[in-house]
Structure 1
Amino acid sequence: MIFAYNKQNVGDTLMVIVKNDENKENKSERKGAVARIQTIDGTTVAWNFFNVSDYLTIHGNGQVELTEKDIDTLNEQLKLAGFEERLVADLSPKFVVGYVKTCVDHPDSDHLHITETEIDGGETLQIVCGASNIEAGQKVVVAKPGAMMPDGQMIWPGNLRGVDSFGMICSAKELHLPNAPEKKGILVLEDDAKVGEKVEIGK
Structure 2
Amino acid sequence: MIFTYNKEYVGDVLMVIAADSQGAKLAVERKGRVARVYREDSGETVAWNIFQVSSLLEIAERGQIFLTDEQAAALNQELSKEGFAAELVNDREPKFVVGQIVEMEAHPDSDHLNICQVQVAADKTIQIVAGAPNAKVGLKTIVALPGAMMPKGNLIFPGELRGEKSFGMMCSPRELQLPNAPQKRGIIELADSETVGTAFDPAKHWQG
TM over 0.5: yes
Q: What aligned pairs does 1:140-179 form with structure 2 within 5 A after superposition?
A: 140-179=141-180
1:86 has 2:87 as partner: yes
Q: Which residue of 2 aligns with 1:18?
A: 18
Decide whether the 8 Å contact of 1:129 with 1:168 is kept in 2: yes
In 2, Cα distance between the equivalents of 1:79 and 1:43?
18
Decide whether the 8 Å contact of 1:33 with 1:51 is kept in 2: yes
- The CA deviation at 1:121 is 5.0
Q: Which residue of 2 aligns with 1:33?
A: 33
Q: Deviations over 1:152-186 (max 9, x none)?
A: 11110111111100000000000011111111100
Structure 2 counterpart of 1:15, which letter? M
Q: What aligned pairs does 1:1-203 form with structure 2 within 5 A after superposition?
A: 1-40=1-40, 41-120=42-121, 122-200=123-201
Decide whether the 8 Å contact of 2:5 with 2:13 is kept in 1: yes
- Choose 84-93 or 35-44, whichever is displaced more: 84-93
Structure 2 counterpart of 1:16, which letter? V
Structure 2 counterpart of 1:129, which letter? A
- Runs (4+) of structure 1 moved beyond 4 Å? none
Decide whether the 8 Å contact of 1:175 with 1:201 is kept in 2: no
- The CA deviation at 1:79 is 0.7
In 2, Cα distance between the equivalents of 1:79 and 1:200?
37
Structure 2 counterpart of 1:116, which letter? Q
CA gap 1:27/1:121 in 2 versus in 1, 3 angstroms = farther
Decide whether the 8 Å contact of 1:97 with 1:195 is kept in 2: yes
- The CA deviation at 1:120 is 2.8
Aligned length, in residue pairs: 202
TM-score normalized by the length of structure 1: 0.96
* Structure 2, unpaired ranges of 5+: 204-208
Decide whether the 8 Å contact of 1:176 with 1:201 is kept in 2: no
